[in-house]
Structure 1
Amino acid sequence: MNKYFKTTAIRTVKLMVVASAILVMPTSCKKWLEEKPTSYYAADTFFKDANEAKMAVLGIYESMSNNNTYGFYMSLVFDIDSDIAQMDGTGLSNDPRVAAHYAMTPVHIYVAACWQLLYKGIDRANLVIERIPEMDLYKNGTDAQKKDLARLLAEAKFLRGQYYFDLIRLFGDVPMKLKPTAATDDLQLPRTDRELVYDQVFKDMNEAIPDLPWASQKPVDERISKGAAKGMLARAALYRAGYSLRANELMERPAKYKDYYAITLKETKEVMESGEHVLNSSYEQIFRNHCKLILEPKESMYEVALYNLDGGLANSGVIGTWNAPVAADKNPYGRANSFYKTTALFQKSYATGDLRRDVAVGTYQLDVNAAKIEFTGTNDSKWAPGKWRRDWQNTGPKDLNNTDINWTLLRYSDILLMRAEAENEINEGPNSDAYLAVNMVRRRGFGKPLTTVNAAVDLPAGLNKDTFLAKLQTERAYELCFEGTRKSDLIRWNILGPSLRAAQAALKVYRAAYPYVAGTNFVDNKHELYPIPQGERDLNPKLSQNPKY
């Protein structure tokens, strides 16, 4: 099912890339128009029917399906280095290691490419949001046609909200534009306070949710469902409730931060009560499914579709090559360069019996015959994330570097952990709902029945607010490690710097020569945000720079 979707629907997305480029950036199509086109799409002739509207919406999704966003930069590079993982080695200038090791500069190509592609997605969304309500079918079509177009409009609103949320997480205050770009527009916009941008994120997502189908009401594909949208709104509210670096060079949280925890609580509770999503009884099976390109929306609620028919770079990712155990070039499953490493102490911190450890961390390499060779002794610094290992992919590679493995943005276990955190914050300590939510995640991790009390596995009763939060912070690491949320979590808790320094100190005690530099390189009240791309500032003098860059 998933393989069919990837083979057909992503071709539709790729067709939409052409259509969207003509719609949004007509001057970029010189090579295409050197020959007489068999068809031509323009804003004033497009959106004639629901199929064209769908093509336009798939073009918004396409901004995620790219190495510049979730195929590589936002999924892997921008979540590292953390207290549990790091990029291997050192580099210069525009190397990804520079970005990972807190040496990013405003001229690094990664921040520029990511910024531009997110705004391209926003501009595509703005066009859809403007044009669908103007369609005759939107007003006068059949009930089925109106429902279909309402869903497409909802998807555009949700994705615009998601992309602005991504920009806030990475860059703080950002320019906000809610109309499609026209030739006469003044594009020199100043940065908008993130609280106002968050207001728009919440507005877009809330307006989208009623017209989105539940997962059980739609085909099994990567388009957003109602439950996933609620979960992403819950995450946006959780981040808004947390700390972020402000223009005054201080880490601050909103005065009424509990209001946003209340949104997280509401949305996660409604997802849990919907019955649409459940935990997969096997933690390992989640990632075997990912590796085999099997969609499983009960747990894996929202995935970025990554696929290239021939294995090329466009619309593919490096999931399972950069963030997997080392695999020799000519082994049957394909090469893995394994630049993404976990720390030995993280692997050793899992409790005895926690089945997640050997899924999350690969302590071996694959030789040319695909035989496993364990890394022992001081080579434990070469241990790597194991969730997307080459030997689970179980197919010969189309390309040595690129894969078709989706990037998962939201799993149901995160819904449970967000619910537990929100309950703890709002009630000034954990209640029974908070305990149940986190203990279900823990029980699954230890292979126990999800709804049966287990004193050996469950968190101890009687924890206060701070102690419960500390336990939850650790639990999020064990459950969601290497899935793109760790560094952002540490930032919103305002403990990124201390966590990096504590990890480095512990690793140096473990072994003085252990290669880890994040604790030294990190600068408080600077590296919680990425720099505004210098190229954007050269074009737009109204853009101020983030602190200390």
Structure 2
Amino acid sequence: MKRFIYLMCIVFLFPMVSCKKFLDTSPLDFKSPENYFSTESELNTALVGVYNRLEDERMYRRGLFTYLAISDEFFYRNVSTSSLFVLDFDAAQVDIGRFWEACYQGIDRANAILENIQKPVMDEQKRGVIKGETLFLRAYFYFLLVDNYGGVPLKLTSTKNPTDKPLKRATVKEVYDQILQDMSAAYALVQDLKKDPADQSDQGLIYSERVTKSAIAGILAKVCLTMAGEPLKDQSKNAEALKWSDLVIGSGRHMLNPDYKQIFINAAKDVYDTKECIWEIGFYGNNTGSFQQGGTLGITNGIASTDVNDPGYATGTINATARMYNLYDATDVRRDWCIAPFKYVTTNNKTTTVAWTTAQLYDRNIGKWRRQYETVVPKAIDFNSVNFPALRYADVLLMYAEAANEVNGGPTPTAELYLNQVKRRGHNKPVGTPDPAIDVARGLSKGKFLEELQNERAREFAFEGMRQHDLKRWGLYVSKMNSLAVEINANAPSTWKYAASAGKNTTDRNLLFPIPNSELVLNPNIGVNNQNPGW
């Protein structure tokens, strides 16, 4: 059972937002910060409210792995113009504004906890855990902001009054420095994941919806690799990424699930896989009752089906690109799991599968999250309880390999080993047994090894919201999107050529989202003259 997310049932009532327009109306019934945070329970309830912002529609309920993460992996069916789905939008686009707002709501909630963390009389270790998780979450919201908008206002105190003086944009480096400071402090405070899930003591965590030391170290590795790439290009951060990823690997608490598809079957069944899935964004139920905290994995980005019960309804709005399909070789089991090799056909209330032909590459839906395995019933049309995998152990292994390649001017034997472990698992082979037919060639140059690793990240994390982020930090996003359009125009059947639309529309301006128009109006210290380039 998803124990942590049950806390969502507790009403969390204190000022929750950072933008003035949301503070113009006072709530009729809430505990003010002066009267709240008086007990350990109230601190924990407030912490749930910070986690809650990660479950917003524009966050991990949908946006961050679909329409806010447009890349060369997928395209939206039947959309060619005037849409965020094909990168044809402006700074007034509502989802861009709501994403910004959700991040700052999370930051404001975190700031309120940090300002009141000393109020309750409670165990100091437990106080430290709450503080550590809060610091990490505040930093993570800033990571999402700086990664997508560039320099943003650095707000480190909670909103007290709608007339608070608006803040100027901090530089990208200043935001990252704050992220590193908060996450590093958090690492020392939070709990470890239990090595033995059967241990029911209070020491350590047995589920992955709350951040652990492994989660923080893994995300710190991701932050450092991002800083080492575009736009900062701080090469010194590769060594730090190596350090943080090595801490996760050396902890002995994690390992690759030997069966790739089982990771996602477990997620559908609400089974925790804490060795592989280090941090998950938790969802609960199917939004049919009063407590509505459902997710959407496998619905928009699933295999189209009109059968609500078996296998489960899915719009199948998103298709994989032929480029993504062709990245896999024929023996890679991830290909036909991530990209469905069949469609559902329902006739006379009976649903069967019909295989796609080899020519039907652009017809294929995403198959990574399959509703047929869901155990929460009755199944709902629009929501389910499947958690989103924010950090997997495979990611840590590949981040180590990438950082080691950069630090040493080429791959080390350990970097090769970790890359090969992921490749072997992807081919349904024992991860500890060398396989010359699968393993990366020994002694590749730095550039060739990076290319191998970049392709492996695409295969391993297909449709998990990472591809756009990776391409941008590698400085490849615009060229990859533009070349995708050329490929589709040259090779796709005429009925699918519109799939090139996003690639055609991609320019340097798409390296960042625009600062939302609503924020430019409200904050004169940003102003229209300080909009991101091209917007």
Q: Same fold (TM over 0.5)?
A: yes
Q: 1:240 aligns with which of 213, 223, 227?
A: 227
Q: Structure 1 residue 380: deviation in Å?
A: 3.0
Cα offset, 1:329, TM superposition: 4.4
Task: Find the partner of 1:223 among 204, 207, 210.
Answer: 210
Cα deviation, residue 42, structure 1: 1.6
1:287, CA displacement in angstroms? 0.6
1:210 counterpart residue number: 188
Greater Cα shift, 411-420 or 532-541? 532-541
1:408, CA displacement in angstroms? 1.1
* 1:545 paired residue number: 531
Query: Does residue 526 in structure 1 map to residue 516 in structure 2?
Result: no
Counting matched residue pairs gives 515
Distance 2:7 2:505 in 1: 43
Query: Using the alignment, how far apart are the partners of 2:500 and 2:165 within structure 1?
Result: 40
Unpaired runs of 5+ residues, structure 2, are 195-203
Closer/same/farther in 2, CA of residues 492 and 63 from structure 1, 3 Å limit: same
Other-structure match for 1:364? 342
Which of 68, 71, 74 is the aligned partner of 2:64? 74
How do 1:253-292 residues align onto structure 2 when only pairs under 5 Å count? 253-254=232-233, 257-292=234-269
- When residues 378 and 446 of structure 1 are mapped into structure 2, their CA distance, relative to the original with a 3 A threshold, is closer
Aligned twin of 1:247: none
- Pick aligned residue for 1:344 from 297, 322, 344: 322
Cα offsets for 1:380-434 (capped at 9, x unmatched)? 3221211102223265554211222111111000000000000011111111111
Q: Does 2:387 correspond to 1:406?
A: yes
Percent identity among equivalent residues? Answer: 30
CA drift at 1:151: 0.1
Question: How far does the alpha carbon of each residue in 1:179-212 deviate from its partner, in whole angstroms, 9 at most, with x for none?
Answer: 1111175342111101000000000000000111
Aligned-partner SS, 1:526: helix
C-alpha distance in 2 between matches for 1:103 and 1:131:
44
Contact 2:14/2:33 (8 A) holds in 1: no
Quick one: distance in 2 between partners of 1:442 and 1:512? 32
**Residue in 2 that maps onto 1:83:** 72
Q: In 1, distance between residues paired with 2:315 and 2:13?
A: 33
Matches within 5 A, 1:355-504: 355-368=333-346, 369-376=350-357, 379-393=360-374, 396-504=377-485
For 1:110, the equivalent position in structure 2 comes to 95
Partners of 1:27 and 1:504 lie apart in 2 by 46
Alpha-carbon deviations, 1:473-501, whole Å to 9, x = none? 10001101100100110011111111122
TM-score if structure 2 supplies the norm length? Answer: 0.91
User: Which residue number in structure 2 is paired with residue 135 of structure 1?
Assistant: 119
C-alpha spacing 1:420/1:518, structure 2 compared with 1 (3 Å): farther
Partners of 2:336 and 2:298 in 1: CA distance? 16
Higher alpha-carbon deviation: 350-359 or 276-285: 350-359
Asked if structure 1 preserves the Cα contact closer than 8 Å seen for 2:142 and 2:179, the reply is: yes
After superposition, the Cα gap between the structure-2 partners of 1:397 and 1:376, relative to the gap in structure 1 and judged at 3 Å, is farther
Deviation for aligned residue 1:310: 3.5
Change (3 A) 1:309 1:354: closer
2:106: which partner in 1? 121
Q: Equivalents in 2 of 1:16, 1:120: separation in Å?
A: 16
1:357, distance to aligned residue in structure 2 (A): 1.1
Q: How does 1:281-360 map to 2 (within 5 A)?
A: 281-308=258-285, 310-311=287-288, 314-330=292-308, 332-360=310-338
Partner of 2:45: 55
Shift of 1:290: 1.1
CA separation in 2, counterparts of 1:360 and 1:102? 24
Which SS does the other structure have where 2:354 is aligned?
A: strand
SS in 1 for 2:59: coil
Structure 1 alignment gaps of length 5 or more: 34-39, 245-252
Q: Which amino acid aligns with 2:293?
A: N
